[in-house]
Amino acid sequence: MYKKYRGRGLEVVTLSFEEEDQLSNPTRLRAFIDTYGLKHTVLLAGVPDQLNEKVPQAVNLNAFPTTFILGRDGRVRGVHAGFPSPGSGAFYDKAVRDVSAEVERLLGERGGARE
């Protein structure tokens, strides 16, 4: 999705919360980035227990991944907890369609104004 929409203004930032031993040398995170060919910004945010401290807006966050979608106005416009894998068939296809439609709608907004 990032490749498809970044030219229209989509930005993606991943906050990764890793175990303590991975903070100084995040080999697992690097392997994940390499394995999946991630091209967007990935930030090492801390250990899992720091989630509420680092992202206090994420009240009761308990699903990974959780996606926060912000509009051009910088406000949270959608939250998606979890994401089905391609192996889940129709559930995956629907999730991709729904998120893509939401992203396209928000990218269509001008100058941060809601239409």
Do 30 and 77 belong to one domain?
no
In the predicted model, is pLDDT for residue 114 greater than 70?
no
Considering the domain architecture, whether residues 3 and 41 belong to the same structural domain is answered as yes
Query: Are both 76 and 100 inside the same structural domain?
Result: yes
State residue 111's pLDDT score: 65
In a shared domain, residues 103 and 76: yes
Count of residues making up the chain: 115
pLDDT, mean of residues 98-111: 91
Residue where a domain stops, chosen among 56, 84, 101: 56
What pLDDT is stored for residue 58 in this prediction? 78
Based on the fold, state whether residues 13 and 41 are members of the same structural domain. yes
Q: What are 80's strand-pairing partners?
A: 67
Please identify, among 56, 77, 97, the residue that sits at the C-terminal boundary of a domain: 56
Residues 11-48: pLDDT tens digits?
Answer: 999 999 999 999 999 999 999 999 999 999 999 999 98
pLDDT in tens, 38-74: 999 999 999 988 988 988 887 778 778 888 898 888 8
Q: In terms of domains, do 64 and 108 share one?
A: yes
For 36, list phi and psi in degrees, rounded to 5.
-100, 5
Q: Is the pLDDT of residue 112 over 70?
A: no
- Pairing relation of β-strands 13-17 and 41-46? parallel
Instruction: Note if the bond before 65 is cis, omega within 30 degrees.
Output: yes
Domain count, the chain: 2
